[in-house]
């Protein structure tokens, strides 16, 4: 094919993308003024101002399609054939060179700041200034509006950017498969999240990552393993993070440059336009909008974390740069879904207890505090406004607690939260290693004997313990059936207690197989995880609704992992 012929093929295959493309919001932001705009900007450097840096991805060599999300394609109104077309594979493996108008042939990466559990850091930036930290390997390539919904599409592992900090800009197949599956699973659970568009792997490019020897139970990885490189494309209304607002908030606070306050204003208006158009009245003065934004974000963030605990999700690294201002789940690297119930569950060995399962509400509060600090300069002229913001901030823990209580009541099928009943359950769950997902799902059958639930136990319980369990069960049943009949309690409970969860030991064989371009397990997992609340076939139940095998209980790369990239 000549260049013109292949351009024509590209135009027709990507016709739907071109038709839906819309950069109108992006144009309200400023690009880095130092940038030449051609996107050839792949080495670490400081970016002092502007909201984004034009950057081209570095294409994968010899890309092959592994998977796409049919659910998302349907929502976008795209045909499934498109995912297999050359033009699609080319774009989502990082080659933007032949995109048809009005699609841009250059993508964009954004800088952001980092706070860890409420403390501001610049040390992770190679220049120790914070000007070299941001999307190191993520870059957005297109933005479109489909069925009234705006979507930004972002490659993860698309190559180096000015924020790459000297690293390779790549993601390995393992982490890409995990993120690809988890995003759509979270969506199926009804929890707000970035979504998965596609998963594409290189058949020739590899990078090394620290990993574990076969069968190892070591906490730290022992070897460097060569892995195929992949790109998963994620989509969301925006990828704006609390850390991003912080970058502009910090610059405004320190008067880093003459436009610093204006850039903060612009990014906050951009957050509203992207994520909060329905909640915020943009005809109001900016300070009023900022206060409305704080309230709306508080509402979303508390709901999000409540949902995480409901479904057993642990973010693992809930820094401000992994906290989406849109209030959805972002960055499925250090994450895990709790199998054996443990409030201190933290699968990522680099994450620390402050980001463990039950500490997520506290971690979210820290991120919310950093959000408030970031937007505060926009209120500085009015003491009244500052005190309203403080009230919103101080109200966060109570809203969080209220939502958690309501969630626990729903998980237990109770009309009202019952702290005593919950505490005694947690005590029993501390004495009996129990599978979090299976336990609540079995409970949703309203059994009158604990034997029915004991298949969710990782160890047989003693007679005495079983008797305590039966005592608890009898009290619980009575409360649950106080005001409702068993059918309606069971139906409601099954809507909040999923049957299926993402079990790492079942994902491992899927990414190992995918490495050989065999995607059968990957497709099967996609299928099972697309309906987590449903009763599925007995074969699926036997395979995917089961306890983690003993030999994998402490296995490196399954029970825990040190590298999430």
Ligand X SMILES: Nc1ncnc2c1ncn2[C@@H]1O[C@H](COP(=O)(O)OP(=O)(O)OP(=O)(O)O)[C@@H](O)[C@H]1O
Binding site for ligand X (CB under 6 A): 134-138, 164-165, 167-170, 317, 322, 331, 333, 564-565
Query: Which C-beta is closer to ligand X: that of 63 or that of 136?
Result: 136
Question: Is residue 366 marked as binding?
Answer: no
Structure-derived torsion over alpha carbons of residues 457, 460, 462, 465, reported in degrees to the nearest 10: 0
Question: Is residue 331 marked as binding?
Answer: yes
Query: Which C-beta is closer to ligand X: that of 248 or that of 436?
Result: 248
Question: Is residue 234 marked as binding?
Answer: yes
Write down the least CB distance from residue 478 to ligand X, Å: 46
Task: Encode 498-512 in three state secondary structure.
Answer: CCCCCCHHHHHHHHH
Write down the least CB distance from residue 133 to ligand X, Å: 6
Tell me if residue 220 is catalytic.
no
Residue 135's binding partner, choosing from Mg ion, ligand X, none, with beta-carbon cut-off 5 to 8 A by kind?
A: ligand X
3-state secondary structure of 450: helix
Write down the least CB distance from residue 322 to Mg ion, Å: 5
Residue 213's binding partner, choosing from Mg ion, ligand X, none, with beta-carbon cut-off 5 to 8 A by kind?
A: none
Distance CA 15, CA 7 (A): 12
Out of 41, 265, 331, 468, which residue is the one contacting Mg ion (CB under 5 A)?
331
* Residue pair 308/364 in contact by the 8 Å Cβ criterion: no
Residue 10 within binding range of Mg ion, rule CB under 5 A: no
Catalytic residue among 95, 205, 321, 385, which? 321
Distance CA 370, CA 213 (A): 39
Residue 322 within binding range of Mg ion, rule CB under 5 A: yes
Write down the least CB distance from residue 154 to ligand X, Å: 8
Strand-pairing partners, residue 530, are none
Query: Which C-beta is closer to ligand X: that of 54 or that of 498?
Result: 54
Q: Note every long-range contact of 351-360, with CB atoms under 8 Å and residues 24 or more positions apart, other chains counting.
A: 351/316, 351/317, 354/117, 355/117, 355/314, 355/315, 355/316, 355/317, 355/318, 356/314, 357/309, 357/312, 357/314, 358/309, 360/305, 360/308, 360/309, 360/314, 360/315, 360/318
Write down the least CB distance from residue 437 to ligand X, Å: 25
Query: Which C-beta is closer to ligand X: that of 170 or that of 251?
Result: 170
Distance CA 516, CA 500 (A): 26
Count of residues touching Mg ion (by CB under 5 A)? 2
Write down the least CB distance from residue 244 to Mg ion, Å: 12
* Residue pair 340/547 in contact by the 8 Å Cβ criterion: no
Alpha-carbon 298 to chain mean position: 18
Residue nearest to Mg ion (CB): 331
Residue 138's binding partner, choosing from ligand X, Mg ion, none, with beta-carbon cut-off 5 to 8 A by kind?
A: ligand X
Bridge-based pairing of strands 149-156 and 195-211 is unpaired
Residue 244 within binding range of Mg ion, rule CB under 5 A: no
Question: Is residue 322 marked as binding?
Answer: yes
Q: Which residues contact 311 (CB under 8 A, 6 or more apart)?
A: 186, 189, 191, 337, 498, 501
Distance CA 272, CA 351 (A): 31
Query: Which C-beta is closer to ligand X: that of 49 or that of 322?
Result: 322
Binding residues: 134, 136-137, 156, 168-169, 234, 241, 322, 331
Binding residues for Mg(2+): 322, 331
Which residues are marked as active site?
A: 321
Which residues lie near Mg ion (CB under 5 A)?
322, 331
């Amino acid at each position: 094919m000549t260049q013109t012929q292949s351009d024509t093929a590209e135009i027709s295959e990507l016709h739907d993308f071109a038709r839906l493309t819309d950069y109108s919001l992006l144009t309200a932001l400023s690009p880095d003024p130092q940038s030449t705009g051609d996107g050839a900007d792949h080495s670490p450097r400081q970016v002092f101002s502007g909201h984004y840096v034009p950057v081209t991805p570095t294409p994968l060599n010899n890309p092959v399609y592994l998977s796409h999300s049919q659910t998302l394609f349907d929502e976008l109104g795209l045909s499934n054939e498109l995912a297999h077309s050359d033009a699609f594979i080319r774009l989502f493996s990082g080659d933007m060179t032949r995109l048809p108008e009005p699609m841009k042939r250059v993508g964009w990466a954004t800088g952001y700041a980092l706070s860890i559990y409420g403390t501001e850091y610049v040390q992770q930036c190679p220049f120790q200034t914070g000007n070299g930290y941001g999307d190191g390997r993520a870059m957005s390539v297109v933005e479109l509006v489909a069925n009234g919904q705006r979507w930004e599409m972002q490659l993860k592992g698309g190559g180096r950017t000015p924020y790459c900090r000297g690293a390779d800009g790549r993601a390995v197949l393992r982490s890409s498969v995990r993120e690809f599956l988890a995003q759509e699973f979270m969506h199926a659970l009804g929890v707000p999240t970035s979504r998965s568009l596609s998963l594409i792997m290189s058949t020739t490019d590899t990078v090394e990552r620290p990993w574990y020897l076969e069968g190892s139970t070591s906490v730290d990885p022992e070897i460097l393993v060569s892995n195929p490189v992949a790109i998963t494309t994620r989509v969301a209304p925006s990828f704006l993070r609390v850390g991003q607002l912080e970058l502009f908030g910090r610059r405004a606070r320190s008067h880093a440059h003459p436009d610093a306050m204006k850039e903060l204003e612009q990014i906050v208006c951009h957050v509203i336009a992207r994520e909060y158009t329905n909640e915020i009245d943009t005809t109001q003065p900016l300070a009023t909008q900022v206060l409305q934004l704080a309230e709306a974000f508080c509402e979303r963030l508390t709901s999000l974390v409540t949902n995480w605990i409901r479904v057993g999700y642990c973010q693992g690294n809930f820094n401000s740069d992994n906290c989406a201002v849109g209030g959805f789940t972002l960055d499925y690297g250090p994450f895990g879904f709790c199998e054996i119930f443990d409030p201190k569950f933290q699968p990522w060995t680099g994450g620390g207890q402050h980001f463990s399962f039950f500490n997520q509400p506290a971690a979210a509060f820290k991120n919310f505090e950093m959000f408030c600090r970031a937007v505060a300069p926009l209120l500085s002229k009015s003491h009244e406004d500052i005190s309203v913001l403080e009230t919103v901030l101080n109200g966060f823990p109570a809203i969080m607690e209220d939502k958690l209580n309501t969630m626990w009541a729903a998980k237990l099928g109770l009309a009202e939260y019952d702290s005593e009943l919950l505490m005694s359950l947690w005590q029993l769950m501390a004495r009996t290693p129990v599978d979090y997902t299976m336990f609540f799902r079995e409970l949703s059958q309203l059994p009158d004997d604990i034997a029915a639930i004991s298949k969710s136990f990782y160890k047989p319980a003693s007679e005495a313990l079983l008797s305590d369990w039966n005592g608890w069960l009898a009290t619980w049943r009575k409360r649950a059936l106080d005001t409702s009949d068993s059918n309606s309690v069971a139906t409601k409970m099954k809507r909040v207690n999923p049957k299926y969860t993402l079990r790492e030991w079942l994902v491992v064989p899927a990414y190992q197989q995918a490495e050989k371009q065999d995607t059968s397990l990957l497709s099967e997992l996609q299928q099972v995880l697309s309906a987590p609340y449903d009763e599925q076939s007995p074969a699926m139940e036997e395979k995917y609704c089961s306890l983690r095998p003993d030999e994998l209980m402490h296995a490196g790369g399954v029970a825990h992992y040190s590298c999430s990239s």
